[in-house]
Structure 1
Amino acid sequence: MIRLAALAASASIVFAGSVLAGSPDHGLDFALGKALFHRMWVQAPSSTKANDGLGPLFNEKSCASCHSGTALSASILVTSDGSITDRGLAVRLGDVEGNPDPTYGRQIQPRSVTGIVSEGRVAYRLGGNPPRVTPSFTPERGPLAATTHMSVRQAPALRGIGALGAVDEAAVERIAAEQRAAGDGPSGRPRYVTRDGKRQLGRYGWKAAAPTIAAQTADAFGLDIGMSSPLFPHPYGDCTKAEPDCLAAPNGRDASFDGEEISNQMIGLLTAYIDGLKAPAPVPDARGEALFAATGCAACHVPDMPAMGGGTVRIFSDLLLHDMGPGLDDGVAEPGALSSEWRTAPLLTLSVRRAPDRRYLHDGRAATIADAVSAHGGEAEAARSRFMALSPDDRAALIAYLETL
């Protein structure tokens, strides 16, 4: 077990007047989870075992380094020449069959602990017509495989995503069946993943790769920070057999943390924190809701989904994978998800994502909600066309409604 008293002391010092004083309804688990969310991890071995295990290869040293601001989403700054800051961005790797790169694995890690060569430098640029975010990679460990594609991913907003876990699985299946039966619009499908020996509905991540917040958190620690947990028991993160120096580096595994670098208890505290981040309450807008339904946006971005045990949860998603067409096809598939398929993004934090550095879609290519809708294709082509055909007044009214979500 981790030392809760020590964590509590850390939280009260670092977040005095913020977490413990500012969130009395969430309790101690929420405060400790936030302390872990903001913790800067260090490489092993360290005199403080509760802090070590970083890397050997990594993208950032803390969760908060990527998930920033009120919405806890990536903060992406685009300069006048189209170059982009890399804070909150990562490059996923894979081919059209869902295989990782044989040398660099599932993701490029441009940073490394002392004594280990990083995987290389990554730069990002926004450009083209229609625009997209393109990475350039200067590798340090040889070239990518000829079949490997690169996909830019921005850290998604976390506020309100706890509601996704409350959605009734049968309702997701039913909506998929209804879409298939209609035959004249979107036709999404649920993605099932096997975790802990159980087949579970994927709910979290850009491609619905994780069934729970805990699983998503463990995967992010493994890929982005290079730290293992019982849900991701790989102390060398995304290192591959082609990176023997990485696999030979010291790690932070310890019996006090369930034999890994992050314990189940730590994952639980982080889950409590993320689950406690509630989405803003939408402002009632009858005209906006009617336009949202009339354009067909609500067919996939389902406002209210049935909840397990009764009632509904407001998430503006059907949790299904949809083929979004060639414009959003990045060539990087995953086991169970094609490269052109994306889970319907929950529209939960649009009201707090209007600052100039908050962008939309998986790679942050869209500067505005209208830009994001314009990039939709494939199964969303008809809804996109109806949106584009709206009168300027109706389109402005629909966007104003979305900006209240």
Structure 2
Amino acid sequence: MFPSPPIALGRILTRCAVAGLACAGTGVALAGQPDDPHLRIVPRTDAETARIEAVTAPATGFAAAEPFEEMSAGAATVRVRRNRDAFSQPSANMELARELDFKVGNGLFRKLWVSSPSSTRASDGLGPLFNARSCQRCHVKDGRGHPPEHEGDSPVSMFLRVSVPGGDAPDIPGYHATQPHPVYGGQLQDFTLAGLAAEYRLVIDYLDRVVELSEGETAILRAPTYTAAEPGHGAFGNDTMFSPRVAPQMIGLGLLEAVPAADILAWADPDDADGDGISGRPNIVWSREFDRPMLGRFGHKAGMPTIREQSAAAFARDIGISSPLFPAPWGDCTAGQPACRDAPHGDGDARVDEIDGTGMDLVTHYSRNLGVPARRRVADPQVLRGKQVFYDTACTSCHRPKFVTHRLEDRPEQSFQLIWPYTDMLLHDMGEGLADNRPEAVADGREWRTPPLWGIGLTRQVSGHSYFLHDGRARSLLEAILWHGGEAQAARDAVVAMSAADRQALIAFLESL
């Protein structure tokens, strides 16, 4: 157990039980075990704890940029590239030998998998059902996925998660008992190998909504309706729950993985004890990798605890590739899809799994070390005004600006860095407008993890679009703000009512991140 900042400690000790955690001393344990089992941690000294509390304190003035504010990822921050490769650079503080592993991991991330049997046995095992043939096909240029541009277009790197009520749940307080669909599994795949039926075709319809803003301005929101058309294996059933997902950007994941769980839990307030209307809470998930409950960090609902487990799950569900963590060679196919399970698979050779442990190590290293670009225009007067608006409207209640990562024995790129991700990594009720009504672990159907904002201003440059939120419905940062509800309703309403100049300044600040 390692000491937390003094201010955080009080929150931790009073809120752990509510979150289903066991607290001891000055740290936090999940289910009675030490937290952060995925990290080899060097304990912080008392002097370091005091420094961390001072450097992560909220901004108190907005006449100038804060020290180190342009270094979004600390020493791992990369120079801004003016092309689509801005999200594809290794951590700036990476040693040359480790950069070689990064490049090999990049090759595996980009590799196009092929069906079995194949002469290229190191690359076979695709599907039989899949959403994409490579990781890069979803996380295009390591950025956000591509939702449809217009109604009727085919989406790229977008799919529907699917589940039904019931099943066994781990002994975690508040965990929702859900299970994969008995026929369609946990995710709908729209591609298949020859001779098999695809699971569905995703159809999206939009209904425009006009939002009146101050000073005579307006915005148009598009409200989506999702249909799983042409089901390939029979009707889904009335109890089926769907959730649309667009692939998120990949930058800075290793730094988020290295933030102390205690520092995240310090900001949890499930009962809104301070009365500010914000009730963030952690998602506690069962880890396959460590066979125990852990803090969820990754995914739109914080449903995955580590980058390795997130990556292995994506290989299995998105591409149909088995790994040591998800060894089923047929990916997401169920017993209700016997033709899929009986199709040829790529396991059983020297790799054992279709991607072996060494391959997973390399992909994890790559995903952990995609560098965060430096901030732009941090001292620009309009950006500074927008930063003040961001604070004044309480956006920082969820989009927490700063953390300091653990000091680590074996991950120098992420070790003891002051980072500016603008997320608390907690779940928040975002209102009925954004609800998918599909629980995931502890998260309910209205809750989403606060997404990190670093790099958001480079989205169009990298991804070729500016679509945001979990399903890409928002076509601009302003639209994304206007979709906020629930705990963020007051902040959203403040943006509607503020002067047009302040709205422009707020967007300028976000575009500088």
TM-score with structure 1 setting the length: 0.89
Match of 2:330 in 1: 236
Match of 1:32 in 2: 104
Match of 1:9 in 2: none
Matched, 1:275 2:347: no
Distance apart, 1:85 and its partner CA: 2.8
Whole-Å separation in 2 of the counterparts to 1:19 and 1:353: 15
For residues 119-157 of structure 1, what are the alpha-carbon distances to aligned partners after superposition, in whole Å with 9 as ceiling and x for unaligned? 132233333435233333211110111111322110111
SS class of match (1:180): coil
Question: Could you tell me which amino acid in structure 1 is paired with residue 433 of structure 2?
Answer: G
Match of 1:91 in 2: 160
Equivalent of 2:356 in 259, 263, 267: 263
Matched, 1:390 2:483: no
Distance apart, 1:19 and its partner CA: 8.7
Equivalent of 1:55 in 122, 127, 137: 127
Whole-Å separation in 1 of the counterparts to 2:89 and 2:510: 29
Matched, 1:42 2:122: no
Equivalent of 1:170 in 254, 262, 273: 262
Distance apart, 1:180 and its partner CA: 3.2
Match of 1:6 in 2: none
For residues 361-403 of structure 1, what are the alpha-carbon distances to aligned partners after superposition, in whole Å with 9 as ceiling and x for unaligned? 0000000111011111111111112222221101100110101
The within-5 A match list for 1:182-261 is 182-195=274-287, 196-254=290-348, 256-257=350-351, 259-261=352-354
Deviates further, 124-133 or 268-277? 124-133
Identity %: 40
Equivalent of 2:483 in 375, 384, 388: 375
Distance apart, 1:225 and its partner CA: 0.4
Match of 2:389 in 1: 291
Deviates further, 387-396 or 91-100? 91-100
The number of residues matched between the two structures is 384
1:166–1:313: 8 Å Cα contact kept in structure 2?
A: no
1:319–1:344: 8 Å Cα contact kept in structure 2?
A: yes
Equivalent of 2:244 in 135, 152, 157: 152
Match of 1:350 in 2: 456
Whole-Å separation in 1 of the counterparts to 2:304 and 2:337: 27
Deviates further, 362-371 or 344-353? 344-353
Matched, 1:319 2:458: no
Whole-Å separation in 2 of the counterparts to 1:144 and 1:119: 10
Q: CA RMSD in A?
A: 2.4
Whole-Å separation in 2 of the counterparts to 1:233 and 1:341: 30
Whole-Å separation in 1 of the counterparts to 2:387 and 2:108: 39
Matched, 1:64 2:155: no
1:178–1:110 distance in 2 versus 1, CA, 3 Å: closer
Deviates further, 219-228 or 231-240? 231-240
SS class of match (1:126): strand
Distance apart, 1:159 and its partner CA: 1.7
1:305–1:318: 8 Å Cα contact kept in structure 2?
A: no
Question: Could you tell me which amino acid in structure 2 is paired with residue 346 of structure 1?
Answer: P
Whole-Å separation in 1 of the counterparts to 2:89 and 2:459: 22
Unaligned residue ranges in structure 1 (runs of 5+): 1-17
1:99–1:334: 8 Å Cα contact kept in structure 2?
A: no
1:76–1:357: 8 Å Cα contact kept in structure 2?
A: no
Distance apart, 1:345 and its partner CA: 0.5
Match of 2:46 in 1: none
Distance apart, 1:357 and its partner CA: 2.4
2:284–2:295: 8 Å Cα contact kept in structure 1?
A: yes
Question: Could you tell me which amino acid in structure 1 is paired with residue 156 of structure 2?
Answer: R
Distance apart, 1:166 and its partner CA: 1.4
1:94–1:331: 8 Å Cα contact kept in structure 2?
A: no
Question: Could you tell me which amino acid in structure 1 is paired with residue 196 of structure 2?
Answer: I
Match of 2:508 in 1: 400
2:110–2:136: 8 Å Cα contact kept in structure 1?
A: yes
Question: Could you tell me which amino acid in structure 2 is paired with residue 64 of structure 1?
Answer: Q
Whole-Å separation in 1 of the counterparts to 2:140 and 2:337: 31
SS class of match (1:117): coil
Whole-Å separation in 2 of the counterparts to 1:177 and 1:19: 36
SS class of match (2:196): coil
Distance apart, 1:268 and its partner CA: 1.3
Match of 2:188 in 1: 108
Structure of greater Rg: 2
**Deviation >4 Å, runs of 4+:** 22-26
Matched, 1:135 2:243: no
SS class of match (2:438): coil
Question: Could you tell me which amino acid in structure 2 is paired with residue 300 of structure 1?
Answer: C
TM-score with structure 2 setting the length: 0.71
1:167–1:313: 8 Å Cα contact kept in structure 2?
A: no
Unaligned residue ranges in structure 2 (runs of 5+): 1-87, 166-176, 210-220, 408-415
SS class of match (2:236): coil
SS class of match (2:268): helix
Deviates further, 365-374 or 228-237? 228-237
Question: Could you tell me which amino acid in structure 2 is paired with residue 289 of structure 1?
Answer: K
